[in-house]
Homo-oligomer: A and B are copies of this chain.
Amino acid sequence: MPRLVTMSKDLNADLPWLDALVWDEQGLLPVIAQDAASGRVLMFAWTNREALLETAATGRAVYWSRSRRRLWRKGEESGHVQLVSDIRTDCDGDVILYSVTQEGGIACHTGRESCFFYRLDGENGPWVAADPVLKNPKDIYK
């Protein structure tokens, strides 16, 4: 797997911008993905050094899947790739913000534009699905 060898090599290189970040005890950071055009917050996920390095190098959003314990190249199953135009971190250097162009206009596995589609209706709830399903998930994940 020459790809991984290359990435490992890069990871061991001197990368001050990665070292400047404040990684948690698991070597992860939270990532917010925001639509570069609409400003909509699309999703929240996690990254590690390898995922962030690949994102910066390729311009395609890569995350670390905590449940699957592997790199998650967004869109690898759905085709809903995210092209990253801007990478930011916050004043504490412990959160990442990707500005993305969302291919297909769908970030959520439910077929919606954004994963943040549940809106609290009144101060006592309930949560209401406030955004339309743009595509049936059965037609996304074949």
The answer, among B17, B87, B90, for a CB contact under 8 Å with A43, is B90
A93 B118 Cβ-Cβ under 8 A: yes
Query: What is the bound-complex CA distance between A95 and B115, given in angstroms?
Result: 10
A118 B95 Cβ-Cβ under 8 A: no
Measured between C-beta atoms, what is the minimum distance from A38 to chain B in Å? 8
The answer, among B43, B109, B117, for a CB contact under 8 Å with A88, is B117
Known A-B contacts A89-B127, A109-B91; the reply to A97 vs B41 at CB < 8 A is yes
The answer, among B41, B90, B110, B119, for a CB contact under 8 Å with A118, is B90
Report if A34 contacts B (CB, 8 A).
Answer: yes
Number of interface residues of A (CB under 8 A): 41
Known A-B contacts A39-B39, A89-B118, A127-B89; the reply to A44 vs B57 at CB < 8 A is no
Which residue in chain B gives the minimum CB-CB distance to A119?
Answer: B88
The answer, among B41, B117, B123, for a CB contact under 8 Å with A57, is B123
Could you say which residues of chain B place their CB within 8 Å of the CB of A95? 44, 115-116
Interface on A for B, CB 8 Å cutoff? 15-17, 20, 30, 32, 34, 38-41, 43-44, 56-57, 86-93, 95, 97, 108-110, 112, 115-120, 123-127, 130
